[in-house]
Amino acid sequence: MADSFVLSNGQIIPGIGFGTSRVSQLTISQADMRDVIFDALESGYRHFDTAHAYRTESALGEALQDAIIYNKVSRSELYITTKLPTYHMRKDHVVSSLRESLKNLRIDYIDLYLVHVPASIKVESEYIPYPSCSSDDYDYPDIIDTWREMEKLVDAGLARAIGLSNFNASQVERIDNNARIKPVVNQIECHAYLQQNKLVDVCKRRNISVTAYAPLGSPGLQIRNNGRYWDLFEEPVILKIAKCHQRTPAQICLRHLLQRGLILIPKTENTDRMRLNLEIKNFSLTKQEMEKLSKLDSNKRIFSFNGMKDHPEYPFKDPY
């Protein structure tokens, strides 16, 4: 499996990135987050995923600027993704929102800019997934109009590529059918409990790569299901395969997705796990092991954006 993927616009994206959304859910200072980014750079990460709504752009920008100044890395080696927040989707907000993110990140252009969620709200929310939103907070810009403004960002050189996040199959098709500049990525929740095969297939048929967020099932969130915690790392089939390959359960979960051709953005603040998450390229799962892992799929969604469930663009009403 290649270390990198070639997107439909010819851009090369590292296959394993570093996610930074956790800081919006845990108590961690900007200085501590900056140190986490430094650790990730030292571990070998060059692809970083953030978003305006995560409140991590500034910490990421500070860390990367320092790394560049001290010749730890060059800008051309880095691949940075951020996202248009759902509260900036009106077409007169798109350009200014990216400019704000670029200022936070201390860079002149973004490698990949995603529409974070297809449903829009009027006011800035404290965090994803907006659990406290109500219909009074909803906004209704046409997402095709939003996409037209996204295309202008590429024309202006502010974004090298544009894409989607949390879009369902019909929404992906609607954007793709109306796009002058095609989306290169759809970033979706994807892990062994939520494998999203139909949505992945739709994206791949349209030459849209898929990035998996929460690829380990977000064990730190302590999600309960039928009275017990969801924990991929305790699944007997994963433990058995991990023992066979002398790998960790996390490495098996990540390798399963990478072998399906997905880009991954795991997140951790532990330096040992940072390194281990990268060390999944020099072994392969057998066809039989892949089939066993596929049977864990049970449509268990962690990030359901429940506050948006009555919005007409809520992405999870459709089967996929």
Residue pLDDT, tens place only, 56-84: 999 999 999 999 999 999 999 999 999 99
Residue 228 has pLDDT above 70, yes or no: no
pLDDT for 21: 85
Tell me the one-letter amino acid at 232. Answer: L
Contact between 203 and 186 (Cβ < 8 Å): yes
What is the arrangement of strands in the sheet containing 162-165, beginning at the earlier edge strand? 18-19, 47-49, 79-84, 112-115, 162-165, 185-189, 209-213, 263-264
Beta bridge partners of residue 121, listed in sequence order: 138
Residue 154 has pLDDT above 60, yes or no: yes
Residue 319 has pLDDT above 70, yes or no: no
**Highest-confidence range of 17-21, 287-291, 315-319, by mean pLDDT?**
287-291
Q: Which of 45, 54, 130, 193 is catalytic?
A: 54
**237-291 tens-digit pLDDT:** 999 999 999 999 999 999 999 999 999 999 999 999 999 999 998 999 999 999 9
Predicted structure pTM score: 0.94
Question: In the predicted model, what is the mean pLDDT of residues 117-134?
Answer: 71
pLDDT for 92: 94
Q: Scan for tokens 């109009």, then name that residue.
A: 145
- Angstrom CA distances, 80 to 46, 67, 181, 256, 307, stand at 8, 14, 19, 24, 28
pLDDT band at 221 (very low <50, low <70, confident <90, very high): low
Residue 88 has pLDDT above 60, yes or no: yes
- Work out the number of other CB atoms within 10 angstroms of the CB of residue 284: 14
pLDDT for 14: 97
pLDDT for 40: 96
Active site residue 54: yes
Average pLDDT score over the chain = 91
pLDDT for 23: 40
pLDDT band at 128 (very low <50, low <70, confident <90, very high): low
